[in-house]
Structure formats: structure tokens, C-alpha cells
Amino acid sequence: MAAYRKNYFSKTRVETFSDGVFAIIVTLLVLEIKVPEIENHLSKKELIRALIGLLPKVLSWIVSFLIVCVIWVNHHRIFEQIKIVTHALFWLNANLLLWCSFIPFPTAAMGDYINNPVSLCTFGIILSLMALSFSLIRFNAIKNKFVLNDDVDDIYFKKTTTKSIIFGPVLYMAGALCSFIHPYISLGIYFFIPLYFIFNNSAKSKKV
């Protein structure tokens, strides 16, 4: 294993780089919500109508913001269990960041065309690829156990990896396909995923 140490990356630098990317993504998400322009600046009704027209964009921003927060939390928890960042792990992490950095685009499309199944399907596909990249990081860690901390429970790590596939790529892809049944079913699934992680983890924290 010592022969490969030259291919290891500084875990701290990888985490710092990843955190910087997540911070930029969150900033880009909100930049899509622009102040509406109205002809009569003193018209209350016109401004109210314009603000109501922004609700789809606000809704898509909230969904994506919560998802990115959950991504950051999951990323943090995985890297807490990793002690060595190999060449392969670095590029698998870069693959995750690649799909994460693309999230603002389908978010903007969904905000502009929230009733169009194509926009919601695109959002689901991108998020499914993002979630799959998480699973690839986990599978790599399972295959190369030396990258994990010594106190990591292998059985529990494998169990959570299987669970991450169901509540990650599978569920996001289900949301993408359901967009052609009804856009709001798809939107409901996208809302459910981050809320599940938020409240499920909160419940676990109370038990500890």
C-alpha cells in the first residue's frame, strides 16, 4: 500500500475544495430569482401579480436549496468515515461535484416551466446522476476498505450504501418518470427526498 501513497490526496484540501463548490452552487441557485419589472411602479396589484408569477421559481429554488444542503451533509458524513483520499476517490468526488454544479440549470428550467414534464424530468435525471455518483464513492470505499477509518462498521456502511441507492438515484428517477403522469407528483417526490433525510436524521439524533 505504501507504493501508492504518492497517489493520495490531502483529505482537508479535498473537503475545502468541495465546500467551496457547494457554496457557489447555493449562491447561483438564488441568482435565478430576479426582481420583476412592472410598468407602473406605484401599482400594488401589478407588483403583487408579478411577485405571484415568481412563485414557481421560488418553489424550485427551495427544493434545490434543501437538496444541496442534504448533499453537503451526506458528503460531510461520508468524508468523516474516510481517512485516505486515493486517486480514484478524488475523481469520483469530482464527478459528484460535476453533477452538483449543474443543478442550477435544471432548477432554472423547472422554475420557468414548472408545468412542463420535460423540465421536471430533466431535473430528476440530473439529480439521479448526482445521487449515483454518491453511491459510486461508497462502492469504491467498500471495495478498498483501507480508505475507511478503522472504527467504521463495515456491515452498517454496506447497509447505508444500499439504502442510498433507493433514496437516491432510484427515487429521483421515479420523480423524473412521474413528471409525465403529472408534474406535481414529480415535484412532490423531489420535496419528499430532502425532507426524509432532514427528519429521519433528526429522529436518529434524538435517540442518541
Predicted confidence band of residue 71 (pLDDT cuts 50, 70, 90): very high
Predicted confidence band of residue 1 (pLDDT cuts 50, 70, 90): very low
In this prediction, residue 39 carries a pLDDT of 86
Q: What is the mean pLDDT of residues 86-106?
A: 96
In this prediction, residue 43 carries a pLDDT of 87
Q: Is the pLDDT of residue 139 over 70?
A: yes
Bridge partners for 85 per DSSP: 9
Place of cell 433528526: 202
How far apart are the C-alpha atoms of 112 and 116, rounded to whole Å? Answer: 9
Q: Is the pLDDT of residue 3 over 90?
A: no
DSSP 8-state assignment for residue 149:
-
DSSP helix/strand/coil, 85: strand
Share of the chain above pLDDT 70, in %: 93
Predicted confidence band of residue 62 (pLDDT cuts 50, 70, 90): very high
CATH of the domain at 165: 1.20.1410
Look at residues 24, 189, 31, 194 and name the one whose alpha carbon lies nearest to residue 108.
31
Predicted confidence band of residue 6 (pLDDT cuts 50, 70, 90): low
Instruction: Please count the structural domains in the chain.
Output: 1
Each residue of 16-39: pLDDT tens digit?
Answer: 999 999 999 999 999 888 888 888
Q: What is the mean pLDDT of the chain?
A: 90
Q: 30: domain range?
A: 2-207
Place of cell 414557481: 56
Q: Is the pLDDT of residue 95 over 70?
A: yes
Distances in whole angstroms, Cα of residue 28 to Cα of each of 32, 37, 64, 65, 109: 7, 21, 11, 10, 14
How far apart are the C-alpha atoms of 175 and 64, rounded to whole Å? Answer: 14
How far apart are the C-alpha atoms of 143 and 151, rounded to whole Å? Answer: 17
**What's the length of the chain?**
208
Q: Is the pLDDT of residue 173 over 70?
A: yes
φ and ψ at residue 82, rounded to 5 degrees: -100, 135
Q: What is the mean pLDDT of residues 164-169?
A: 90
How far apart are the C-alpha atoms of 46 and 22, rounded to whole Å? Answer: 36
